[in-house]
Amino acid sequence: MKKRVLSGIQPSGKLHIGNYFGMIKRMVEYQESSDLFLFVANLHSLTTLQNKDEMKNLTLEAAMDMLALGIDPEKCHFWVQSDVPEVAELTWILSCLTPMGLMERATSYKDKIAKKLGANLGLFSYPVLQAADILIQQAELVPVGKDQKQHLEMSRDIAAKFNNTFGETFTIPKPDIPKDVAVVPGTDGQKMSKSYGNTIPIFDDPKVIKKAVMGIVTDSKGVDAPKNPDKCNVFALYKLFASKEERVGMANEYRKGKIGYGDAKKALLQKIQDTFEPFQKKREYLAKHPKKVEKILEEGAKKVSKNTLKTLEKVRKATGLRY
């Protein structure tokens, strides 16, 4: 039996190569080896995104992005979160069992408040909705980064409390945290993030992508000067795309002073173009045929609803709500 894996992506704007290597590439691999449940988390986005047209557009665009980058609805469950309303009912039920103290310990909420994102109940109770997403699908594995580890632990605590209170109902999910995932650096050397304005977009005008790559920050060493590839942002990004042989060859050219940063950036740009050009063409096709994307999402919601209704019925019976 394949393990059931669940993940979600918020519709939050243009994807960049950090998103691809940090999450999406892993999901494409998971759909080949596991029973993947993947959704566009628009209910989660509602905590901070409260513009109707923007929400609609970003939700559809996020779906197009994922489909263009290799997510295959024939190989996984792929849907939009709000199209499966059972998760909202489960969120309320779980909220009635979740201790306030558990919510108050959430460091993510504290961080967002510190950044003045605005406090609302949805942002505070975000981990309960996340728990409902996971538990309603009876997910066994949840791929998360280290920054989401606490939320997954909270989901495990909520599931355990429900099971102890009402009887065995939910699978206790396990985190899948890669041990050696390199941080994808942005053009300024910090972690690539839209909030830092240091991203290299995937689906944008080629001139915009080229400008981002050629603007990567480097030191001032000349073309013929020996350079340390391990301390270069350009090389760190090049490694993500290159074969072992190519990485070794580029590293040797760095150390021997046989390549300048300009040529290294051109080599990186070529790798980006070669890797993402097929995805960009598919993305253009999907953008011209939005009804096809909507149909995929509609079918995905129907497909996953069979699973959510089965779990929710168990919950209703266990709690006495099904009288």
Other C-beta atoms closer than 10 Å to the C-beta of 183 total 13
Contact 220, 279 (CB under 8 A): no
- Of the candidates 75, 191, 221, 282, the residue annotated as catalytic is 191
Distance set, CA 138 to CA 10, 150, 175, 317 (Å): 21, 19, 13, 17
Active-site entry in 112, 227, 239, 265: 112
Q: Is 146 a catalytic residue?
A: no
Task: List, in order, residues 6 or more apart from 248 with CB less than 8 Å away.
Answer: none
Rg (CA), the chain: 22
Cβ-Cβ contacts under 8 Å for 95 (sequence gap 6 or more): 125, 128
**Active-site position among 14, 194, 221, 317:** 194
Measured between alpha carbons, how far is residue 127 from residues 7, 64, 237 in Å?
Answer: 14, 26, 33
304: left (phi over 0), alpha (psi -120 to 50) or beta: alpha
Is 112 assigned a catalytic role? yes
194 is annotated as an active-site residue: yes
Instruction: Give the active site residues.
Output: 112, 191, 194
